[in-house]
Amino acid sequence: MPESPSPAVPRLVFVYGTLRRGESNDITRLAPAPCFVAPGRARGVLYDLGPYPGARFGGDDWVVGEVFAIEAALEQRLDEIEEILPEPTGEYDKRLVTVNLDGGATLPCLVYELSTTAAQGRARIPGGDWAMRASQPR
């Protein structure tokens, strides 16, 4: 797990599911308020877990999401939402991945990655975009 930064240093997080704007855990409704950076995508596979998705990063496919700058206090809140804290459930791990921004730039971003075990037997979300799931056949 990456080290937490000091409270004054913003960190970048890539969100791909219910933390995206307009979704049930919309990150912009959390405090301290994050700063939207850009839409982005990262190499990986998005899995359907029912009410929320999980991503495994790497490979040739893409996961679509959004990049935000966050403070350490918000990172701790995200750790609670993703059940990394106070006691890890083992469903998600936190790590850094390279995210491609619209326009071509790349940035290292914090992600919450679905564990290999939790991904087993789960259906992939075609196109890797949680926001588009309603228009896709199930």
Summarised one tens digit per residue, pLDDT across range 28-74 is: 999 999 999 999 999 999 999 999 999 999 999 999 999 999 999 99
Number of domains in the chain: 1
CB of 122 closer than 8 Å to CB of 54? yes
| Distance in angstroms (rounded) separating the CA atoms of residues 135 and 80 | 30
State residue 133's pLDDT score: 78
7, pLDDT greater than 90? no
- Bond preceding residue 32 cis, omega within 30 of 0: yes
Domain of 90: which CATH number? 3.10.490.10
Whether pTM > 0.85 for this model: the answer is yes
Residue 6 belongs to some domain of the structure: no
138, pLDDT greater than 60? no
> Encoding tokens for residue 14?
């890539």
- Quick one: how many helices (H) and strands (E) in the chain? 2, 5
Summarised one tens digit per residue, pLDDT across range 80-114 is: 999 998 889 999 999 999 999 988 999 999 999 99
| HSE, side-chain direction, 13 A CA sphere, residue 106 | 7
Residue 24 belongs to some domain of the structure: yes
CB of 13 closer than 8 Å to CB of 120? no
Residue 136 belongs to some domain of the structure: no
Residue 63 lies in domain: 11-131
